[in-house]
Structure 1
């Protein structure tokens, strides 16, 4: 083989090697690009998944889910429990989020959580032992309000009118639904012909939080009735012992709520009412007259006491047909635990201080002392 042939052969081999190198480089480049793309796709999918897992499952959810966190539960077990109950999407994401926030000391207990809660709200709830969510708005229903007065507050705080509220709470269909939802609270007693409003006194006075701009009117009222149901259930044994129905309790407590000015007065006034009923005397409480009249007055006149109405406890002995307002927990408890007294009369002076008497003569003396002399 001459030198020219050798050179040609070497040149050919070099060309082959260059071609192989180019192919290898292309393969490496393709593999590298593919790998980067795969990493990018995996990373993007992972990022989107984590981003999704960090958000509430259903921001509009209002239904509560009961979750029991056992004593001694670790962050991992709590995370798994939350995922199992459908509160969060991924337990690992919640666990690492809590670790990143340096949060791990959670309290055992029973929680009513929702799928609308954020991780921060869940963490705050588990730390404090109380369910925490930032509401869109709140609505406070004070003690001692009638359904019509509650409707006025609903109109001011929600998109619904007082008429829409009253139409709902006086609807036979809705009342039947409340009976089905809360059979121990809302009984056939509310259906008596002489009751003005079936659900009067059955909406618990409290501050309610709402986590959507326009909750349904049905859910608003249902929550208030449900709150009263929870309160009353605490006293089922006492009611059974006293042979007192829930309707009687709420009726009695509503009178107390309208008459009392302080906690100690509630228990003493309760004793006056019970003493009067035991002796067959009419209760003669002014708020029932005002309820019978259907209007508020700063002062009840003698002529008002003669109004012919089943709610007028000056004309009718015993309790009125049903509650005249929504009673709070203090009045409910005072109704079940009255003071032991011999009082049969009481009056409130111009400063709202109550004065109690055992006899009518003693009562008249206090009327002269605290009311007439100050006029």
Structure 2
């Protein structure tokens, strides 16, 4: 035993300075576990990349039309109505054509479309196509302007039915819808008539016609021939040809309901003091009585007169019932009894008197403000002069006559 075996001369801090021995078995286990985790992580990443690349490749195949390529021969057989919706790209149009039996495969259309850039400019709407067309013929037919069903343009103030003006017929909404309903069958043009559409409007349950809930009670109370007036607001409507009059009307009314909702009916009417349907009536009166720059002022006159109360005294309401386009009315007209005579009645008319525009609806929801009660067209461009007293109004009226405005 050495002299220091007993530790008599050992530095007491030496053990603390000496490195500890490592448990190598534990370190090895930890290293292996860490390696396994890295391996699993890389496998997960590789799997994700494989799935992503597979999806991308599948999408690429679809986009490029790689895969089965079937195609019909010829110009087609039976009639087929195809709808192109807003935002549809060429591949979506191709899928729609395939789903409707127009083409044998989506790729047949996509490949054929590469030779004509006009395919990328196909507009939303309905197209009169044929079943079993070649991709090339389908492309040629889709880009032909005559293939697309003309959209129905409803202008502000338009009535449901035709009117006679200066010996000419001004087509109403029913007639315009009838014109757009035409399709070909066995080489002959087949269309709904305006009378068929009118009958469907008057005889069908309003719910089946798509009349919105906020208008149902008033529509059911109205005389059948006026019940849908105003519910087809100003705008452009895509009409599907070859369907029944009820289905055609329903499509248009549902589309109009969406437009009305966007314009603020019923959502924006809560603080007006009127029901949504009454706001629609007011908007139709504004549309008939003024040009756009005067809409909010005419709206204020309506609000003020109803509040007083006093009759609106609008010639447009009498002319609506008499189916006349004239601006002025006779003494006999103004004295005739009836719910559309606003010279006698102090309330709004039972229904709108024409199609309102978005601008007229906005004015009906938010009038100008002020105490004006009278107005008269005082300029040849249709501009009106407004007054708060009858004396002021009478002076405006006499000046308008003197100036030859009417």
> Structure 2-normalised TM-score?
0.61
Correspondence for 2:270: 240
The 8 Å contact of residues 357 and 363 in structure 1, kept in 2 or not, is answered as: yes
On the 8 A contact 2:113/2:119 being kept in 1, the answer is: yes
Counterpart Cα distance in 1 of 2:120 and 2:224: 52
Q: Compared with structure 1, are the counterparts of its residues 339 and 220 closer, same or farther at alpha carbon in structure 2 (3 Å cutoff)?
A: same
Q: For 2:235 and 2:196, locate their aligned partners in 1 and report how far apart those are by CA, in whole Å.
A: 21
Question: Does residue 325 in structure 1 map to residue 357 in structure 2?
Answer: no
Bigger helix fraction: 1
> In structure 2, the residue corresponding to 1:229 is in which secondary structure?
helix
CA RMSD of aligned residues (A): 4.2
After superposition, what is the alpha-carbon deviation per residue over 1:184-231, rounded to whole angstroms, capped at 9, x for unaligned?
A: 35412211156752112222344445565x554334322331232111
Residues 1:223 and 1:121: Cα distance change in structure 2 (over 3 Å): farther
Q: 1:61 aligns with which of 81, 84, 94?
A: 81
How far residue 68 of structure 1 moved from its aligned partner, in angstroms, is 7.9
CA displacement, residues 75-124 of structure 1 (integer Å, 9 cap, x when unaligned): 9xx66995799478645555545666679999xxxx888896956899x9
Distance, in Å, in 1 between the alignment partners of 2:97 and 2:194 is 42
| 1:214-229 equivalences in 2 (<5 Å) | 214-229=242-257
Which of 217, 220, 234 is the equivalent residue of 1:188? 217
Q: Using the alignment, how far apart are the partners of 2:76 and 2:214 within structure 1?
A: 34
Gaps of 5+ in 2: 1-67, 131-137, 163-171, 183-190
Closer, same or farther: CA 66–184 of 1 in aligned 2, 3 Å: farther
How far apart, in 2, do the equivalents of 1:61 and 1:257 lie? 35
* Residues 204 and 224, structure 1, Cα contact 8 Å, conserved in 2: no
**What aligned pairs does 1:1-375 form with structure 2 within 5 A after superposition?**
49-51=70-72, 60-61=80-81, 82=95, 86=99, 90=105, 92-93=107-108, 96-97=111-112, 134-149=147-162, 150=172, 151-153=174-176, 159-171=191-203, 173-178=204-209, 181-184=210-213, 186-192=215-221, 197-209=226-238, 212=241, 214-234=242-262, 235=264, 236-242=266-272, 244-260=274-290, 262-349=291-378, 351=380, 352-371=382-401, 374=404
**Shift of residue 148 of structure 1?**
1.8
Pairwise CA distance, 1:166: 2.2
Deviation at 1:365, TM superposition (A): 1.0
Find the aligned partners of 1:79 and 1:195 in 2 and give their Cα distance: 42
Q: Which residue of 2 aligns with 1:129?
A: none
| 8 Å CA contact retained: 2:202, 2:225 | no
**What stretches of structure 1 of length at least 5 have no aligned partner?**
1-45, 125-131
Query: 264-273 or 337-346, which moves further after superposition?
Result: 337-346
Is the Cα–Cα contact under 8 Å of residues 251 and 323 in structure 1 kept in the other structure?
yes
CA distance in 2, matches of 1:221, 1:306: 36
Give per-residue Cα distances to partners, 1:288-318, cap 9 Å, x unaligned.
Answer: 1223444444531233222211121111113
Q: 1:190 to 1:99 in 2, by over 3 A?
A: same
Shift of 1:330: 2.4
Query: 1:82–1:91: 8 Å Cα contact kept in structure 2?
Result: yes
Offset at 1:67?
8.6
C-alpha distance in 2 between matches for 1:148 and 1:314: 24
Shift of 1:174: 4.4
Distance across 2 between alignment mates of 1:332 and 1:177: 25
The 3-state SS of whatever aligns with 1:304 is: helix
The CA distance in 2 between the partners of 1:225 and 1:328, in whole Å, is 15
